[in-house]
Amino acid sequence: MSKPNFDPGFTQQVGGILRRAINKDGSFNVRRRRTHWRDVHPYLYVISISWPAFLGLVFASYLLVNTLFAGIYYLIGPDALQGHDPETETSRFLTAFFFSAHTLTTVGYGSLAPRTNAANVVAAFEAMVGLMGFAVATGLLFGRISRPSAKIGFSEKMIVAPYQNGTSLQFRIVNLRPNMLMELDASVLLMTVDGPPGSLARKYNSLALERERIYYLPLTWTIVHPINESSPLFGKTAADLERLQAEFLILIKAYDDTFSQTVHARSSFRYDEITWNARFKTAFHIDSAGDVVLDVDEVGTHTQITS
C-alpha cells in the first residue's frame, strides 16, 4: 500500500519544469545563495572535495606559503641568508624560496642558513608554521582516507519488466568495492508534479518493494516494485510519467563491515530513464572451478522483450 503524501525534505512547492532532485552522484540538486562566509566550514569543505582538488589545494598552499616567506627573506636584504652568492635578483629570490622550502619542511640541508636576527626570527616562525601546517594536512589526509563511504553502482536505466501475472518497476545495484556490505535497506520514493495550472505541487509516494532488505550484497540486488492496483504507477504510461515529471528517489542504507559503520548511497531515475517492456540480463556466471564470477559492467545490461 502507498503511504499518504508527505514531504521528505524537498518541499511540495514548485514553479514550473524541474530538473532532477538527486543527481547521479548522490548530491542534491540545490544551489545555495547569499550564505555568509562565517557559515563555511573549512574542514567539511576540504573533506568533501574531489581528490584532484584536494591535492591541488595542498600543492597550491605549499607554493603560496613558500613564496610568501621567500618574499620576506628577499625584502630583509641580500645579507639575510648565508651560504649563497646570487648573481641576479631572480637568483636571490629563488635562493630565498628554496631556503623557505628547507625551513618549512624542517629538512635543513645546511647549505643555506639565516644570518641576521630578522632572518632568524622569520625562520623560527616559519618552522612553527611548517610543523602546524603539515600536521593539519596529515590530519585532513587521514580524515579523507578513513571516512567510511559506500560506492554502490546503480543500473543506468530502470526497466518495466514482467512480474508474476503483471508488471514491475526494477533497477539494480552492486557494490563496486571489495568490502562487504551487510544488512542493506532500500527505500524508493516516487516524486511527481501535479495540480491545476498555476498551483502545481510536488507529491511523494513511497513505493512498496518486493524485498526492502537483504542481509548481504556479494553479487547484485534487483530491487523490484510490483505494479499492482495499490501502486501509484498502476495504469500509468510513459506519457503520463513525462507529464507528471516523475522522478524516483533512491536511498540505500548498509552496514560496512570494514569500518563497522552505517553508510548511505543516493541516486534517482527520471521518467526518461525508464525502459519499458525489458528484462535484466544475468550479471554473473559459474566458472569451470565452480566459483561465482560477477561481471560488474553487466549489472545494468538489459534486453527488450519482443512479443
Final residue of a structural domain among 98, 122, 146: 146
User: Which set of grid coordinates corresponds to residue 171?
Assistant: 533497477
For residues 106 and 186, state if they share a domain.
Answer: no
Q: Are 275 and 237 in contact (CB under 8 A)?
A: no
For residues 141 and 158, state if they share a domain.
Answer: no
Tell me if 14 is assigned to some domain.
no
Q: How many domains does the chain have?
A: 2
Q: What is the CATH number of the domain that holds 137?
A: 1.10.287.70
**Is pLDDT at 227 greater than 50 in this prediction?**
yes
Tell me if 30 is assigned to some domain.
no
pLDDT value for 110? 82
**Is pLDDT at 133 greater than 50 in this prediction?**
yes
pLDDT value for 216? 92
pTM: 0.76
For residues 178 and 256, state if they share a domain.
Answer: yes
Residue scoring higher pLDDT (78 or 28)? 78
Final residue of a structural domain among 146, 166, 194: 146
Q: Quote the strand ranges of the chain, DSSP E.
A: 81-82, 113-114, 152-154, 158-163, 166-175, 181-194, 201-206, 213-216, 220-227, 247-256, 261-270, 274-276, 278-280, 284-286, 292-294, 302-304
Final residue of a structural domain among 115, 146, 177: 146
Residue type, 32: R
For residues 139 and 158, state if they share a domain.
Answer: no
Q: 59 is in which domain, residue-wise?
A: 37-146
For residues 162 and 288, state if they share a domain.
Answer: yes
Phi (first) and psi of residue 213, to 5 degrees: -150, 140
Tell me if 245 is assigned to some domain.
yes
